[in-house]
Structure 1
């Protein structure tokens, strides 16, 4: 079976669609008071989660070294998205937690993604978008929360 579309175009189009959504998200986040947040920060803040984590656990989740995770934590701490606190169960351990500013960014991101999805539904039609989402669910692992993309891409 032959196709006029070369096989390499599919992953490029999927990546471009991802990039278009992420670029629009970050432009809107900037307008809403988060000008310093970068695309990789979203993976990191999701991996930190509401309970917090350690640099070692963060590195493991992201698929990067403890040192790479630590550098990213430093950067996020400088711009106010995370803070380091002492683990109440082990005072030798430092827990990284999202600040209210970090939680605000995640909440705004979720609402912006809903808006972007609605825009795509207008552009493609709700039925076609639902079919696309359904087809992608069939072709991808069940758990969409693969936070190890930073390590998979090579670095933070």
Structure 2
């Protein structure tokens, strides 16, 4: 191994490549398990909708995109059967979007697949090295790992 430091630009590219490798592995397996139409951005949307549902405006704010962009995403996910629109039982004027059983199934499968992918990485790197990597990343990043505004941060949903 070279003792020369890597160029500064390589670190974010390697971190992004690791993220992409995990996400592509997730989506390959989701497709095999009956969710071929789910895209990486959809996971952020599912998380932002949450277990109790949300409105298009709140979804847009959570994702860092416009209400219109959130609405288009909701339309697409509704056509695919992952979300449904309804009326808030506490306020009939308020329209909400909720995950369907198919949407919840996708999230549940994603969690199990991520556990398997992590185990695969531990098999290659070793559990101790992987835990050290995770600890190092925690020390260098925000305490809140669930930032859902990635679609907006990258330029839109």
Q: Does the TM-score normalized on the shorter chain lie above 0.5?
A: yes
Pairing 1:11–2:12 present: yes
3-state SS of 1:7 partner: coil
Q: Take 1:114 and 1:121, find their aligned partners in 2: how far apart are those partners?
A: 10
Q: How far did residue 89 of structure 1 move?
A: 1.7
Counterpart residue number, 1:130: 131
Unaligned runs of 5+ in 1: none
Unaligned runs of 5+ in 2: none
Q: What are the Cα deviations for residues 98-141 of structure 1, in whole angstroms up to 9, with x where unaligned?
A: 00000000000000000000000000000000000000000000
Q: Take 1:133 and 1:34, find their aligned partners in 2: how far apart are those partners?
A: 29
Q: What are the Cα deviations for residues 44-103 of structure 1, in whole angstroms up to 9, with x where unaligned?
A: 000000000000000000000000000000000000000001111221211100000000
Counterpart residue number, 1:60: 61
Q: Take 2:71 and 2:120, find their aligned partners in 1: how far apart are those partners?
A: 37
Q: Take 1:151 and 1:20, find their aligned partners in 2: how far apart are those partners?
A: 21
Runs of 4+ that moved beyond 3 A? none
| Aligned ranges 1:1-156 → 2 under 5 Å | 3-156=4-157
TM-score by length of 1: 0.98
TM-score by length of 2: 0.97
Q: Take 1:83 and 1:69, find their aligned partners in 2: how far apart are those partners?
A: 14
> In angstroms, what is the RMSD of aligned CA positions?
0.9
Q: How far did residue 4 of structure 1 move?
A: 3.2
Residues paired across the two proteins, number:
155
3-state SS of 1:4 partner: coil
